[in-house]
């Protein structure tokens, strides 16, 4: 036993027992305090370490420990502080990437789907959600329905093996109708294992329809040009063969040439009018127009033709519709084509032009002149201008009503000469009305007559010019 330990048991002779007992108790108490405080401090540090690690595990905000302790606990604390800084930076980076990814998916006009190997949709951008009617309770059915398509099922089978199949053009039957999609499918691979599929779809329906429309337009225009040109060439050859000796034949041939040249003039003019109404770069002037000034122009333009056919031509203006707003060039184009069409197919009775204003729900279908589609406007009420051209003519058969606004379509192709027309008039009307933000409605009954109804919203009372595609 060392010398100093014995004094704790046997006090020196010069110190009283009471004093020595007090010193011993103080030393013992100090040791107890040190032991208790040390234990508490270690527990405190342990708790901070554990709470910090738990916060890091949850991905929540982490405060630095800033431990001043040395030894192993201090080293562990400093290591955790370093890891928390790295973890916060990584979480912020992941958060930014997630926001960027969501923004990209939302901005994409192409439908995007991410599905797992159980065919459940894990992620769909808004376009895909709308197109495939995806909701939380049908995430499995949405992709399973697509797999009924043989081509998509083949793409999925290839992608599940880890290979990327070439994109395919697929026709899909959806709630919105038959759509043609370019489907690209990619495997999602983690640790060399396929865990899901990434689908990118590109709706090519409208593009293909536009290509077909252009092809049909070129074919129809070529046909419409070929017929009068062939007739003109035949008439010229006949004149050459007669060597101008048969005056009656020459006059008949010249009459044929004149008729077909007139038809070519009308065709070219209609093509130019159609091109102008379809030009989205054109500026539409919504000017103030007095219909009382338009009335004599129309009656003078078509009065003699109506009189030759013994038809009553009427131009009726409601009291609240004398002053209207619209593009005067387009309105005259609409009137010219509608009245000319009515006079052409009416042999007795009347042709009546009526103008009025009315309040109408704004679910105003803007029909596509080629495909028959509509672009509904937001619901509500709005004041619209209504132009009606009614006739007591032969009417339009029910099977032809949905096609009369197609380019070059004529209800009765057996008609020839001036009675047949170019087949562009109603397409011009539809595009001209749409350029002013309106729609065209058609009511017809074979043997009774036809009513063409054009509606467009009344614009604000100003003279601003607006682009044709902005109405």
Which is nearest to 458 in space by CA: 298, 330, 321? 321
Q: Cα–Cα–Cα angle for 247, 249, 251, nearest 5°?
A: 70
Q: CA 240 to CA 168: how far, in whole Å?
A: 58
Maximum average pLDDT range among 164-168, 203-207, 418-422: 164-168
Cα(269)–Cα(424) distance, integer angstroms: 10
More confident position, 258 or 271: 258
User: Which range, 83-87, 145-149, 299-303, is most confident?
Assistant: 299-303
pLDDT in the model for residue 62: 58
Quick one: DSSP state of residue 470?
G
């999925």: which residue's tokens? 156
Tokens of 38: 């040390």
Burial of 454: CB neighbours in 10 Å, binned 0-12, 13-18, 19+: buried
Q: Choose between 261 and 365: higher pLDDT.
A: 261
> Residue 12: helix, strand or coil by DSSP?
coil
94 versus 1: the higher-pLDDT residue is 94
* Winning range, highest mean pLDDT, from 7-16, 47-56, 288-297, 452-461: 288-297
Residue listed under structure tokens 């808004």: 126
Structure tokens at 225: 């040009």
Q: 262 or 329: which carries more pLDDT confidence?
A: 329
- pLDDT grade for 83, boundaries at 50, 70 and 90: low
Helix axis angle, 247-278 relative to 328-344, nearest 10°?
A: 140
Lowest-confidence region among 55-64, 100-109, 164-173, 387-396: 55-64
Q: Which residues pair with 314 in a beta bridge?
A: 352
Name the pLDDT band for 27 (thresholds 50, 70, 90): confident
Mean pLDDT on 138-156: 74
CATH number for the domain running over 206-278? 1.10.287.130
Is 442:452 a contact under the CB 8 Å cutoff?
Answer: yes
Mean pLDDT in residue range 83-87: 62
Please give the Cα distance from 253 to 235 (Å, whole number): 5
The class that CATH gives domain 109-203 is alpha beta
* DSSP-assigned letters across all residues of 13-72: TTS-HHHHHHHHHHHHHHHHHHHHHHHHHHHHHHHHHHHHHHHHHHT-----------HH
Q: Where are the chain's structural domains?
A: 3-102, 109-203, 206-278, 282-470
279-295 tens-digit pLDDT? 666 677 788 889 999 99
Confidence at residue 187, expressed as pLDDT on a 0 to 100 scale = 92
Share of the chain above pLDDT 70, in %: 67
Alpha helices in 108-186 (DSSP H): 126-132, 139-147, 150-159
pLDDT at 315: 93
Average pLDDT of the residues in 176-193: 86
Average pLDDT over the chain, rounded to whole?
A: 75
CATH for 282-470?
3.30.565.10
The percent helix, strand, coil of the chain (3-state, each to 5) is 50, 20, 25
Is 132 a residue whose pLDDT tops 70? yes
Determine how β-strand 465-467 pairs with β-strand 168-174: unpaired
Written as one string, the DSSP assignment of 400-430 is: HHTTTTSTT--S-TT--HHHH--S-HHHHHH
Using the predicted structure, report yes or no on whether residue 87 has a pLDDT greater than 90. no
Q: Measure Cα distances from 372 to 306, 336, 369, 454 in Å.
A: 32, 23, 6, 16
pLDDT at 182 over 60: yes
Query: Where is 131: in which H helix or E strand?
Result: helix 126-132
Please compute the mean of the pLDDT values over residues 166-190 and round it to a whole number: 84
Say what the pLDDT of residue 351 is: 93
Other residues' Cβ atoms within 10 Å of the Cβ of residue 159: 21
Give the Cβ contact number of residue 145 at 10 Å: 17
Q: What is the pLDDT of residue 317?
A: 92
Q: What is the mean pLDDT of residues 144-167?
A: 84
> What Rg, from alpha-carbon coordinates, does the chain have?
43
């Amino acid at each position: 036993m060392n010398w100093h330990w014995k004094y704790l048991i046997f006090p020196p002779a010069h110190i009283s027992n009471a004093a020595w007992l007090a010193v011993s108790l103080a030393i013992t108490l100090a040791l107890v305090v040190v032991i208790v405080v040390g234990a508490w401090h270690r527990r405190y540090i342990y708790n901070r370490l554990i709470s910090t690690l738990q916060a890091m595990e949850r991905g929540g905000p982490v405060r630095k420990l800033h431990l001043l302790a040395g030894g192993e606990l201090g080293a562990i604390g400093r290591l955790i502080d370093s890891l928390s800084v790295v973890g916060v930076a990584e979480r912020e980076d992941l958060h930014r990437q997630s926001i960027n990814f969501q923004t990209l998916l939302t901005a994409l006009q192409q439908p995007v789907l991410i599905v797992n190997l159980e065919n459940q949709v894990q992620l769909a951008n808004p376009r895909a959600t709308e197109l495939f009617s995806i909701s939380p309770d049908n995430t499995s059915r949405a992709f399973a329905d697509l797999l009924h398509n043989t081509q998509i099922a083949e793409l999925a089978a290839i992608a599940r093996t880890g290979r990327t199949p070439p994109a395919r053009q697929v026709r899909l039957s959806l709630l919105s109708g038959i759509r043609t999609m370019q489907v690209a499918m990619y495997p999602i691979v983690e640790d060399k294992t396929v865990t899901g599929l990434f689908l990118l779809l590109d709706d090519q329906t409208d593009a293909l329809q536009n290509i077909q429309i252009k092809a049909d337009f070129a074919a129809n225009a070529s046909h419409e040009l070929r017929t009068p040109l062939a007739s003109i060439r035949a008439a010229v050859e006949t004149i050459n063969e007669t060597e101008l000796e048969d005056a009656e034949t020459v006059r008949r041939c010249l009459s044929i040439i004149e008729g077909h040249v007139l038809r070519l003039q009308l065709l070219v003019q209609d093509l130019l009018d159609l091109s102008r109404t379809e030009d989205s770069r054109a500026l539409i002037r919504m000017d103030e127009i007095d219909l009382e000034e338009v009335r004599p122009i129309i009656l003078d333009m078509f009065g003699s033709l109506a009189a030759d056919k013994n038809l009553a031509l009427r131009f009726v203006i409601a009291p609240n519709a004398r002053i209207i707003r619209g593009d005067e060039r387009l309105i005259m184009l609409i009137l010219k084509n509608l009245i000319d069409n009515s006079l052409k197919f009416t042999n007795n009775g009347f042709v009546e032009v009526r103008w009025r204003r009315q309040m109408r729900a704004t679910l105003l279908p803007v029909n596509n002149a080629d495909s028959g589609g509509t672009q509904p406007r937001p619901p509500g009420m709005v004041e619209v201008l209504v132009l009606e051209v009614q006739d007591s003519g032969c009417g339009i058969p029910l099977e032809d009503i949905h096609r009369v606004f197609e380019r070059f379509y004529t209800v009765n192709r057996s008609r020839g000469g001036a009675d047949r027309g170019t087949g562009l008039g109603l397409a011009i009307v539809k595009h001209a009305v749409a350029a002013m933000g309106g729609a065209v409605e058609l009511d017809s009954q074979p043997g009774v007559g036809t009513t063409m109804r054009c509606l467009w919203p009344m614009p604000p009372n100003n003279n601003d010019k607006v682009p044709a595609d902005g109405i």
